Amino acid sequence: MRSAPTDRHREMAKCRSDGKPLAVIASKFNITVEEVCRAITRVEKYDRGVSLLKDNPANIEGLTLVGILPYLARLSLQENGITYLTDLEGVPSDTLLQLPNVRQGVVDQLLGLLDEYRQTHRGNPPSL
């Protein structure tokens, strides 16, 4: 699992949102422009994931953007109509394992997340 963006990454993103050029930000932090771009992208993706999960904690894209699920596994799931943890209801593990980039560890993780979701959201359907 990837960790959340650091305060330093957030400060770079703030500088950029304030209109500072990438080269100025890179100079301020003594790093390359490419590193600044990666840090800003990381903050943007993470924040988008958090927003998606606030709207619906079962959102697989959100779980991927915050670093919980692997990106390629998410693509395989979405290509097969699985965009929320709740879409896994009744899908056998063997079926999931036949998908590209979905290994046993990912299946175990998905089923654990689904179980956790069920326990914390009983009677509260996800908002769509």
CATH code of the domain containing 81: 1.10.150.20
Q: pTM of the prediction?
A: 0.85
Residues 6 or more apart whose CB falls under 8 angstroms from that of 54 comprise: none
| Number of domains into which the chain is organized | 2
Residues 6 or more apart whose CB falls under 8 angstroms from that of 48 comprise: 62, 65
Residue range 102-111: mean pLDDT, rounded: 96
Q: What is the pLDDT of residues 45-83, one digit of tens each?
A: 999 999 999 999 999 999 999 999 999 999 999 999 999
Q: SS3 for 59? A: strand
CA–CA separation, 41 and 29 (whole Å):
16
Residues 6 or more apart whose CB falls under 8 angstroms from that of 41 comprise: none
What percent of the chain has a predicted confidence (pLDDT) above 90? 91
What pLDDT sits at residue 122?
73
- Which domain range does residue 42 map to? 1-48
What pLDDT sits at residue 128?
39
